[in-house]
Structure formats: C-alpha cells, structure tokens
Structure 1
C-alpha cells in the first residue's frame, strides 16, 4: 500500500464504486493539498457526489484507497470513520438536514456540543457564524419558520463552526437564488482561506467552479480533461462552449 504525498491532506487512488450494478466511479485518482479549494465539476450523474462521499468516509470504495493526513480511511472501522467525520470534516449538501426541534443557533452549534464543547461556548461560536452569514437575527427561530435559503445558510454555518480540517460541499448552493449563492460561497471561501480549511466542492455550475483554486472534471464516473472553447454568438446572447475529452 503506497502512502500519499506529504503535502496532500486528501489522496485517493483508483476508486471504483457502483450503485446497484451501475458504475458511479471508475478508476478515479486525485490529491487535494492542505488549504486548497478544489472544485469537482461535471454534469449530473457524473459521479461527483459519490466521489465526495468516498473521500469523506461516508462510503467505502469497492476498490481503491482513500487517505486523510497519511491515514488510510478505507481501512478504518465504522466507528473510527464516524469519529473522523464528526471531529475533522464538515459537510454541506443541497438539503440542509436541520433538526426541526432545535433553533437556528442550536442546529449550528450541534457539531460542537456533540464533541463536548460547553453550551455557552458553542452558542457564542454559532452566533458568530450566523452573523457572518447575515442571519444572526434568526438565531432563535426553528427551521419550520425559515425560508429555504435561510435554512441552507444555517447548514453552511454548521459545517464551519467547528473549524474542520476539510469541508465537503456537494452542490451546496443548488437551492439558493443567485444573490444568496454569491454571498454564501464568498463566506465559505473567505473562511477557508483565512483558517486554512481545505474545501472539496462538487458543482455543475461553471461560475461556482471558477471560484476554486483548481478544478477536476468527471464524466460518467471517470476523470476527464475539459477544454474550454472561445465564446460564440448565439441567437439569445453569448455562450461559452466546452468540450470534454
């Protein structure tokens, strides 16, 4: 078993995974440097979500290796992987997954409280993140009283509140309008750069991918090289074309 490069916080080699016999990943390898913001791009169904779930330990690859800080995730027990995700990783996806009985600040503080942080300290940290995402005034509201975009901002705050080593974001702005999308993405990127947090961001939106330090592209579960062609005039305006090879 070959150890990953020293400067890669995440490293995967030859990942294979199938859902009900349908290939989702076929021989995907990549490395993610510490503090890097990496976009995983590709159309829906290209394997982006499966890749993030393998990298984060939510799924075990059927073949291949996943390493975090030179430790093999693919050989960890379920309990150890659960602890790794709780203590070192943050997760955002299109569905906020908030606990309906908890307020906005309690949902945000949940990772800290599960890790044993005193309630007062956890609340202070949660309120700071809610303020950064412009929803501090909603701290005492429960999810049913909030708009979808507000609930999604809480999901961003929850993923960042414990200052994880890595944040995995799977199409995190899909439910947001463009103005909300820009603000929360810039907050995520700013927090990552200022605190040295590594971000692995799955997206089919080229504007979102453009905010990352680097992009890898998937198509039908395989890594591909994306060649961007010059913009061309079309009937309804200008459009940029791309060709995956």
Structure 2
C-alpha cells in the first residue's frame, strides 16, 4: 500500500530494536508536505529512533518507510546516504561544528560538498547566518563562540540546502530558554517560508506549541497523551492529532 499523495513521509508498523532492546513497537505515522510536526515524549520514548528510521539512518526490522512515494525501507545503504545528503538535513542537540572552519564555512559545508561554487555557497551561508542573528561572527571559529552561537550556525548549516525534510532532534536543548525560543521562532518561520517539512523531537511543551501538529510517544509506541511530569525533562499531557 503506497502512502497518501500529500504525505512527504509515511511509515507503517515500524518495529525497531537496538542492542536487544525494543525501541519502536508498531509505530505508524504520516507527515504532510510543508508541515511542522512535533514528536513529544520523555527521554527514551523513541523519538530519536523514529527519526532515524524515517531519515534512513536506521532500518527497522519490520515495517515500511516512504518518502514521496519512494520506499526507503527497500533502499540499499548507498541510496539512503544519497537521500540524506540530497533531500534531508539534521540538527542535533549539540552543534558538531568543524573546529578548523569559520562560522560561514561550517554553514556552507553541505553546499561545498555538493560541488556548489565557493562564491554561491558563501553567499547562501551568510544569508542564513544573518537570518539567525549570527552574521557578525561569520569569520570566527567555533572555539571563539558561545554555545548559542554555535548552535545557530548548526541550524544555518541544516537550512542552507533548503532540504525537503529537516529532522531537528532537541535542537535547543543546550540553549537558555530565551535563546532557544528565538532560534526556534526563526527556524519555524524559515521552514514555513520555504515549504520545508520539519520533524521536531522535543520534551518541551513550549517548543511543541510552535508545531502544526503533535504526536506523542511513550515506550516506543504512539499514545493519545503523555502523562504530566515535573522537571526539565517533563512534558504535560498533550492530545494526539492524526
């Protein structure tokens, strides 16, 4: 069964185990083109594992994953790597910048690796750095920047290729609340203006509120609510909308 025409990503009955531990158990999901979808749940609920399967970084032991009506679950490793390079981008909780490169070079790296000219790659990188209020640091290297500044560069690097799908795994977890809110507003505004589909994994309800729709996970399964908890990793109850 092929996915609906308006779903850019579609998964059915994903079962995934890692090191003998079940991480996903029968998860199905559809993501519409241009949608910002928040995956919520406590740490260990399966959010990152689900994004790994949807992006082709991991292959579920059972189930299907489709991207634009193309079956990702039947692709070989080289095909999946090409898909991730050409159509997807990823933001981790930590920026993972190349220390020897300047801010603009780090942001431009995906374009340079694709063979885009130095001039065009630099112009695009600088534009994104400006949008993320980090343009003044374009010539600085990561060691001279704050954690917030480094994460903004990582986000610019993810957006510079205008990917079809952006996977953001707790992208502001290492930032202070004010910095994180500003960065996420910029990220979601950029995604909407460029029709970029975003999967945003978070345990923060304020972050999830920026999304068009929320899907809750608990112990590797989709649930209708996540029970309220307290502390930095808590999430309040949220309705599931499919």
Pairwise TM-score range, normalised by the shorter structure:
over 0.9
Residue 242 (structure 1) aligned with residue 241 (structure 2): no
1:13-59 CA distances to partner (integer Å, 9 max, x unpaired)? 11111121111100000000000000000000000000011111111
* Residue equivalent to 2:7: 8
CA apart distance, 1:242: 2.7
Change (3 A) 1:43 1:86: same
Change (3 A) 1:211 1:241: closer
RMSD: 1.8
* TM-score calculated relative to the size of structure 2: 0.93
List runs of 5+ in structure 2 lacking aligned partners.
229-234
CA apart distance, 1:169: 0.2
* Residue equivalent to 1:237: none
* Residue equivalent to 2:156: 157
Change (3 A) 1:177 1:55: same
* Residue equivalent to 2:188: 189
CA apart distance, 1:115: 1.1
Distance 1:52 1:27 in 2: 14
* Residue equivalent to 1:103: 102
SS of residue paired to 2:57: coil
* Residue equivalent to 2:222: 223
Instruction: State which structure, 1 or 2, has the greater radius of gyration over its C-alpha atoms.
Output: 1
Q: Which of the pair is proportionally richer in strand? A: 1
SS of residue paired to 1:95: coil
* TM-score calculated relative to the size of structure 1: 0.92
* Residue equivalent to 2:139: 140
* Paired residues, number: 235
Change (3 A) 1:43 1:148: same
Contact 2:214/2:239 (8 A) holds in 1 = no
CA apart distance, 1:227: 7.2
List runs of 5+ in structure 1 lacking aligned partners.
230-239
1:145-204 CA distances to partner (integer Å, 9 max, x unpaired)? 111111111110000001000100001110011111111101111111111100000000
Moved over 2 A (4+): 240-245
CA apart distance, 1:241: 5.3
Distance 2:157 2:144 in 1: 18
